[in-house]
């Protein structure tokens, strides 16, 4: 494992930091608070345009489509440096990180000309429509169906937990086009216009007060066959490419960490509590362990290698870590811990907001249980779970 940047990586890190310092303010708190949605979206689009104009929007994309033509390690370095600043990036994380790369990989030349530049420069926002009420972590168990009708496909069904659907212009949607084959083989992916007739988006009011997730309903939604990504029935292969693009997301983690709760404990006098100091030591050790795990990923990227499934360890650690830290901070505040108004709560209610948001983090992008299965099977080499549906048609269940 290499803990230091190469000379070239150090030069790029300095360039990235100088650019960020010129355009943004340093982050003052490690919280999760986008503020007013309309204002936040405008700031996000403006920032995305500035990045694209200076070829920092997507480091690894080829220069001919607006990228920098850089390495995966440079993208990691950019993510790390950008996370230190008050950068409004959330609306574009899924689209540019997962959706548009899938369009580039499987779309036609017409698709690339129509969608890539507009997304890169912040003119259009994308979402990913995978999860369903009866098929969350088991994405291949989805029931939303598409039936061929001439040169179009007619989609009916429902998706849920779709981040950003309420402000997205387009999305990639995975649907079932053949129920008479095993579940992984009867899927197809399409590009969908989120504003078209038959698409209904219902924001889900979360316990944290946010509305980032949504239910999406499709009623006789017609999509032209030319907007299909990949061959019919090959949607699982396309979806895996989409999910693989998550592996570059090894920058900073959202929410308060051990440093924030230690600062609060100092100000409140809780550092004299031996039990709290023991917890603080555990959080610090866990954070350092995760940091070293990320170094392994960065070392692989720096050498031009592909990170392995051990990357799943990070999310299991950080989501539970966040929930535990925030719970302890709220308990430390005694009866003031029930106040979630940032104008009156200690530390601007960062611990309260993050505590209510943390359960969503443990579900999004794969539940704890799914990620632990991945670690068990693909990292530790343990036997796979029994799958009674492996060779049976989806319609038999």
Q: Do 145 and 200 have their domain in common?
A: yes
| pLDDT above 90 for 304 | no
Q: Do 261 and 330 have their domain in common?
A: yes
Predicted confidence (pLDDT) per residue in 72-118, tens digit: 889 889 988 998 999 999 899 999 989 999 999 999 999 999 999 99
Location of structure tokens 């299909």: 228
Neighbours of 46 (CB within 10 A): 13
Q: Choose the weakest-confidence range: 98-102, 220-224, 340-344.
A: 340-344
Show the domain range for 46.
Answer: 7-88
Q: Is 84 exposed, middle or buried (0-12, 13-18, 19+ CB in 10 A)?
A: middle
Predicted confidence (pLDDT) per residue in 318-331, tens digit: 889 999 999 999 99
Alpha helix positions (H), the chain: 7-23, 37-53, 72-82, 90-94, 100-106, 109-120, 235-244, 258-268, 274-302, 312-332, 350-361, 368-374
Q: Grade residue 294 by pLDDT with cuts at 50, 70 and 90.
A: confident
Predicted confidence (pLDDT) per residue in 107-134, tens digit: 999 999 999 999 999 999 999 999 999 8
What does pLDDT average to over the chain? 88
CATH code, domain with 271: 1.20.140.10
Tokens matching residue 195: 């504003």
Q: Do 179 and 284 have their domain in common?
A: no
CA distances 332 to 6, 309, 347, 353, Å, are: 43, 37, 12, 15
Indicate the residue among 216, 243, 270 that finishes a domain: 243
CA distance 136 to 307: 25
Within a domain: 108: no
Q: Is 374 exposed, middle or buried (0-12, 13-18, 19+ CB in 10 A)?
A: middle
pLDDT at site 251: 42
Q: Are 381 and 373 in contact (CB under 8 A)?
A: no
Task: Give the residue-averaged pLDDT of 368-388.
Answer: 86
Q: Do 143 and 235 have their domain in common?
A: yes
Domain count across the chain: 3
Dmax (CA) of the chain: 73
Q: Which distant-in-sequence residues (6+ apart) come within 8 Å of 347 by Cβ?
A: 29, 256, 260, 264, 329
pTM for this model (two decimals): 0.86
Tokens matching residue 98: 């997962």
Q: Grade residue 245 by pLDDT with cuts at 50, 70 and 90.
A: low
């Amino acid at each position: 494992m290499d803990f230091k940047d190469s000379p070239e990586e150090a030069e790029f890190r300095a360039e990235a930091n100088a650019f960020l310092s010129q355009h943004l303010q340093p982050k003052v708190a490690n919280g999760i608070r986008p503020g007013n949605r309309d204002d936040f979206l405008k700031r996000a689009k403006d920032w995305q345009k500035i990045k694209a104009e200076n070829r920092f929007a997507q480091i690894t994309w080829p220069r001919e489509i607006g990228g920098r033509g850089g390495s995966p390690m440079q993208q990691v370095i950019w993510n790390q440096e950008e996370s230190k600043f008050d950068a409004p990036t959330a609306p574009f994380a899924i689209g540019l990180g997962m959706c548009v790369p899938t369009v580039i990989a499987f779309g036609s030349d017409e698709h690339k000309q129509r969608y890539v530049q507009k997304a890169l420069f912040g003119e259009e926002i994308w979402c990913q429509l995978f999860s369903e009420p009866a098929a969350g972590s088991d994405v291949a168990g989805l029931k939303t169906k598409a039936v061929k009708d001439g040169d179009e496909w007619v989609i009916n069904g429902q998706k849920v937990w779709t981040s950003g659907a309420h402000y997205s212009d387009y999305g990639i949607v995975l649907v079932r086009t053949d129920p008479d084959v095993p579940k992984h083989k009867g899927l197809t992916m399409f590009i969908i216009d989120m504003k078209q007739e038959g698409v209904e988006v219902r924001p889900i009011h979360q316990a944290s007060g946010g509305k980032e997730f949504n239910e999406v309903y499709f009623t006789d939604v017609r999509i032209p066959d030319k907007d299909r990504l990949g061959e019919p029935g090959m949607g699982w292969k396309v979806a895996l490419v989409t999910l693989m693009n998550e592996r570059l997301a090894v920058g900073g983690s959202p929410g308060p960490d051990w440093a924030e709760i230690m600062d609060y404990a100092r100000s409140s006098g809780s550092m004299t509590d031996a039990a709290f100091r023991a917890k603080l030591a555990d959080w610090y050790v866990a954070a350092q362990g995760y940091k070293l795990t990320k170094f392994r990923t960065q070392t692989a990227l720096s050498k031009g290698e592909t990170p392995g499934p051990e990357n799943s360890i990070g999310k299991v650690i950080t989501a539970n870590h966040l929930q535990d830290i925030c719970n302890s901070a709220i308990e430390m505040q005694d009866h003031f811990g029930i106040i979630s108004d940032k104008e009156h709560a200690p530390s601007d209610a960062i611990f309260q907001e993050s505590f209510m948001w943390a359960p969503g983090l443990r579900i999004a992008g794969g539940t704890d249980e799914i990620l632990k299965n991945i670690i068990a099977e693909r990292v530790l080499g343990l036997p796979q779970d029994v799958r009674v549906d492996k060779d049976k048609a989806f319609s038999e269940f």
